[in-house]
């Protein structure tokens, strides 16, 4: 069995975007749940648009309107440090002032905003329905990628606004900072770039705006990695840097790239740029599908096959090492895969099976360094939690299974 498979609870973007929400580590019994389940790691989110809504003001400027969000992030990290819980801090989203969409943000939910880069932000069926509704958002307002997920046209290089944001995070929270209540033990540079960021691909080469085209988002991710390593080097390179934190989606479109295609393209981009990952740069991935499909590790191992012999970053055990920083088992999937059975019982049993497979470093779990659970209170839209949705405090059967798993730091 593995001696290093760590457990982490991801508190979701609400922990950073909505202080005081059920995702806030400080409130609603969350500290108790983490302690009761003997969970050594939590994942918190540093939402850049919330922390710095005005680019003319520094994040820690008392006049910054995002100051309350910074204080909430500080307080959640401090609470975790007091509890002896390690924090993984995910850098999330781009303010509209930093990615060229501020004017569109000022007219959100108008045709000007909805129609902007529509082929990179929504499914073809959603666009066609919007057009059929006269491009009137009062009649149909299509689901689409947020403006805050647009890749900055100027890039994320060493002189970019993102570099300044990440430098702030690293200097304030790295693992060797003098303040013991501000220490985090891993920084994730981006969340699901193959699923959330846009544009994923170059402009369509045909008259069909939704036609496929060469992948380009991997270059942004490679640039994030180089910029973050330079920041880390200036501060002593004390803390794990995790990326790309890929979604395990197998959908293929202009908006979504399959994780193994993205991984291969990112490795090519790193090679082309002459980038070599440092010993504290680790590969992160999200694996809902592995857990939900009867506790397998097949998708993660398929990713490791892509990485094998090419990824030379952080490793322990049998390389390549993969950190699962987000994952879970949704009740809807249990109803789909186990028809006629109690979905909550199936969720708990699937976690047991998944842990057994992931923890075997001499078999299917080789190279897996972390296993994630998405949230304490379940998000009704992504129903994978240990408890029923807030304000209920009912522990699901999976709660006791998670609590009974070994603790590795």
Interval 199-212: pLDDT, tens: 999 999 999 999 98
Residue 67 phi/psi, 5° resolution?
-55, -40
pLDDT tens string 131-155 = 999 999 999 999 999 999 999 999 9
Helix then strand count (H, E) for the chain reads: 17, 8
Rounded Cα distance, 368 and 163, in Å: 30
Phi-psi region of 241 (alpha: psi -120 to 50; beta: other; left: phi over 0): beta
pLDDT of residue 353 exceeding 50, the answer is: yes
Flag whether pLDDT at 95 surpasses 60.
yes
Q: What does the alpha-carbon distance between residue 268 and residue 26 come to, in Å, rounded to a whole number?
A: 42
Burial, 209: exposed, middle or buried (Cβ in 10 Å; 0-12, 13-18, 19+)? Answer: middle
Using CA atoms, how far residue 373 sits from 9, 388, 401, in Å, is 5, 14, 12
Domains and CATH numbers, the chain: 6-100+150-403 (3.20.20.80), 110-147 (no CATH)
pLDDT above 50 for 357: yes
At 298 the three-state DSSP class reads helix
The SS3 of residue 345 is helix
Give the model's pLDDT for residue 265.
98
Q: 0.75 cut: is pTM over it?
A: yes
Distance CA 133, CA 5 (A): 51
Mean pLDDT of 309-326: 94
Q: Which has the minimum average pLDDT: 115-124, 250-259, 388-397?
A: 250-259
Helix (H, G, I), strand (E, B) or coil at 102: helix
- The answer to whether the bond into 49 is cis (omega within 30° of 0) is no
The percent of residues above 90 in pLDDT, for the chain, comes to 92
1 pLDDT higher than 50: no
Burial of 279 (0-12, 13-18, 19+ CB in 10 A): exposed
**pLDDT at residue 215 tops 90:** yes
Report which of 221, 325, 223 is spatially closest to residue 263, judged by C-alpha positions.
221
280 and 314 in contact (C-beta within 8 Å)? yes
When pLDDT is averaged across residues 23-45 and rounded to a whole number, the result is: 98
CA proximity to 17, closest of 87, 105, 92, 79: 92
| Distance, CA of 299 to CA of 194 (rounded, Å) | 16
- Over residues 370-393, mean pLDDT: 97
Phi, psi of 241 (to 5 degrees): -115, 120
Chain centroid to Cα 344, Å, comes to 25
Rounded to an integer, the average pLDDT of 119-142 is 98
Q: In this predicted structure, what is the pLDDT of residue 327?
A: 96
Confidence label for 295 from pLDDT (cuts 50, 70 and 90): confident
Work out the average pLDDT over 262-270: 98
- At 229, is the pLDDT very low, low, confident or very high (cuts 50, 70, 90)? very high
Q: What is the pLDDT of residue 318?
A: 84
| Contact by Cβ (8 Å): 189, 232 | no
Tokens found for residue 13: 């973007």
Query: Are residues 166 and 91 in contact, defined by beta-carbon separation less than 8 angstroms?
Result: yes
pLDDT tens, position by position, 173-186: 999 999 999 999 99
**Separation CA 48–CA 148 (nearest Å):** 9
Please state, in angstroms and rounded to a whole number, the distance separating the CA atoms of residues 297 and 31. 30
**Other C-beta atoms lying within 10 Å of the C-beta of residue 277:** 18
The answer to whether residues 9 and 373 touch, using CB atoms and an 8 Å cutoff, is yes
pLDDT at 3: 54
- State pLDDT tens for residues 302-314: 999 999 999 999 9
With left for phi above 0 and alpha for psi between -120 and 50, is residue 188 left, alpha or beta? beta
């Amino acid at each position: 069995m593995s001696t290093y498979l760590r457990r982490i609870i991801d508190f979701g973007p609400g922990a950073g975007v909505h202080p005081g929400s059920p995702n806030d580590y400080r409130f609603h019994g969350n500290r108790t749940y983490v302690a009761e389940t003997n969970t050594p790691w939590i994942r918190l989110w540093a939402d850049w648009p919330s922390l710095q809504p005005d680019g003319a003001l520094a994040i820690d400027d008392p006049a910054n309107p995002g100051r309350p969000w910074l204080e909430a992030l500080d307080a959640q990290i401090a609470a975790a440090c007091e509890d002896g819980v390690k924090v993984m801090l995910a850098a999330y989203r781009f303010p509209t002032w930093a990615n060229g969409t501020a004017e569109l943000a000022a007219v959100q939910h108008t045709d000007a905003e909805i129609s902007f880069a529509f082929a990179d932000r929504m499914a073809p069926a959603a666009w066609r329905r919007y057009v059929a509704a006269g491009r009137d958002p009062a009649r149909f307002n299509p689901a689409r990628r947020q403006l805050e997920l647009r890749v900055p046209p100027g890039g994320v290089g060493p002189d970019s606004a993102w570099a300044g944001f990440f430098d702030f995070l690293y200097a304030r929270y790295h693992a060797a900072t003098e303040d013991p209540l501000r220490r985090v033990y891993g920084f994730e540079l981006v969340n699901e770039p193959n699923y959330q960021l846009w544009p994923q691909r170059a402009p369509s080469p045909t008259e069909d705006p939704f036609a496929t085209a060469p992948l380009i988002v991997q270059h942004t991710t490679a640039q994030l990695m180089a910029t973050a390593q330079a920041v880390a080097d200036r501060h002593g390179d004390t803390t794990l840097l995790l990326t790309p934190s890929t979604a395990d989606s197998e959908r293929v479109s202009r908006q979504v790239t399959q994780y193994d295609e993205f991984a291969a393209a990112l490795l090519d981009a790193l090679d082309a740029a002459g980038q070599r990952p440092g010993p504290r740069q680790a590969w992160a991935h999200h694996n809902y599908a592995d857990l939900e499909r009867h506790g397998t590790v097949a998708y993660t191992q398929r990713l490791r096959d892509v990485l094998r012999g090419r990824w030379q970053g952080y490793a322990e055990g049998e390389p390549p090492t993969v950190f699962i920083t987000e994952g879970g088992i949704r009740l809807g999937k249990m109803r789909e895969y186990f028809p006629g059975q109690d979905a909550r019982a199936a969720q708990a049993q699937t976690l047991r099976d998944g842990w057994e497979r992931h923890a075997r470093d001499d078999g299917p779990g080789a190279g897996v360094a972390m296993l994630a659970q998405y949230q304490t209170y379940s998000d009704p839209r992504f129903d994978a939690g240990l408890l029923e949705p807030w304000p209920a405090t009912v522990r699901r059967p999976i709660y006791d299974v998670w609590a009974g798993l070994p603790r590795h730091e």
